[in-house]
């Protein structure tokens, strides 16, 4: 009977070695109509992800056998699946959102179940929207496939970024941030707007997510991150792409 109920439901892989947390997540996610599968250590998480290909992964950092950061990196090398990291330390945020990992999001413990569910929905919705755009694209080839602003060039079909002619390796989230800003060069975009439009958060979300991601992008596209010439900060407001 349960298999019939969750037949068309999105599957979420929960990876945490604390049974009480896993039980809470299972209860609340199933209540929202999701199917859940569970792993309690890093090695099992990788195996389960590769075998069952879940729609989203909730991944704790502190895990037996293999830590969550390593698990995230290995899974992302094989699967294009949104991963939300669970961390007890604010200081881990830089690592979580780093290019070398490719995590899509994070939430710190102790977390509000309502907020976590909102993050899950936002990340799944982002995947659905991206998939729909890919389906529509062949019939809508009039859309410009490239954005060029100064030394910055984005190829929207290849999800490729070039700076001064050199290809830059960015995560999908970093690409989406640059795409959103570059589509309106010179216009200042607030952190809140970026959080809503790129991450999909209307009510929940940590502004630091935007700041950390912008810092990571600058490390890749700027000659001098202390004096950025492409991705500019408007102090107290937000960010914009320079038209110079």
Domain segments of the chain: what residues? 2-135, 144-241
Task: Flag whether pLDDT at 60 surpasses 90.
Answer: yes
Task: Flag whether pLDDT at 126 surpasses 90.
Answer: no
- CA atoms within 13 A of residue 151's CA, in its CB half-sphere: 15
Beta bridge partners of 84: 58, 105
Q: Are 58 and 174 in contact (CB under 8 A)?
A: no
19 burial via Cβ count (<10 Å: 0-12, 13-18, 19+) = exposed
H or E segment at 159? none
Band (14; pLDDT cuts 50, 70, 90): very high
pLDDT, residue 99, reads 45
Cα–chain center distance at 54: 16
User: What are the tens digits of pLDDT across the range 77-88?
Assistant: 888 898 998 988
Global pTM reads 0.67
Task: Flag whether pLDDT at 124 surpasses 70.
Answer: yes
- Comparing 60-74, 88-102, 148-162, 213-227, the range with the smallest average pLDDT is 88-102
CA distance 199 to 105: 8
Q: Does domain 2-135 have CATH number 3.30.420.40?
A: no
Task: Flag whether pLDDT at 128 surpasses 90.
Answer: no
DSSP 187: -
Q: Are 59 and 86 in contact (CB under 8 A)?
A: yes
What does pLDDT average to over the chain? 84
Q: Would the CATH topology of 2-135 be identical to that of 144-241? A: no
3.30.70.260, 1.10.10.10, 2.60.40.10, 3.40.190.10: CATH of 144-241:
1.10.10.10
Q: Are 208 and 93 in contact (CB under 8 A)?
A: yes
Scored b (16 or more CB within 10 A) or e, 161-170 reads bbbeeeebeb
């Amino acid at each position: 009977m349960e298999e019939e109920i969750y037949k068309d439901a999105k599957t979420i892989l929960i990876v945490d070695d604390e049974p009480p947390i896993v039980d809470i997540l299972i209860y609340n996610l199933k209540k929202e109509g999701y199917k859940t599968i569970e792993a309690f250590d890093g090695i099992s998480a990788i195996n389960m992800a590769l075998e069952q290909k879940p729609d989203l992964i909730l991944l704790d950092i502190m895990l037996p056998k293999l830590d969550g950061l390593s698990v995230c990196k290995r899974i992302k090398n094989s699967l294009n699946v949104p991963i939300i990291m669970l961390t007890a330390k604010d200081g881990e945020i830089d690592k979580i959102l780093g290019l070398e990992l490719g995590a899509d999001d994070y939430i710190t413990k102790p977390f509000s179940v309502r907020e976590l569910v909102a993050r899950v929905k936002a990340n799944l919705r982002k995947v659905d929207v991206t998939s729909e755009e890919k389906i529509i694209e062949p019939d809508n080839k009039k859309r410009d496939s490239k954005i060029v602003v100064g030394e910055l060039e984005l190829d929207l079909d290849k999800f490729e970024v070039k700076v001064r002619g050199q290809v830059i390796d960015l995560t999908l989230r970093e690409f989406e941030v640059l795409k959103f800003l570059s589509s309106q060069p010179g216009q200042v975009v607030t952190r809140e707007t970026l959080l809503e439009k790129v991450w999909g958060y209307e009510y929940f979300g940590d502004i630091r997510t935007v700041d950390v991601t912008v810092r990571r992008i600058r490390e890749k596209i700027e000659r001098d991150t202390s004096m950025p010439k492409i991705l500019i900060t408007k102090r107290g407001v937000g960010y914009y792409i320079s038209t110079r």
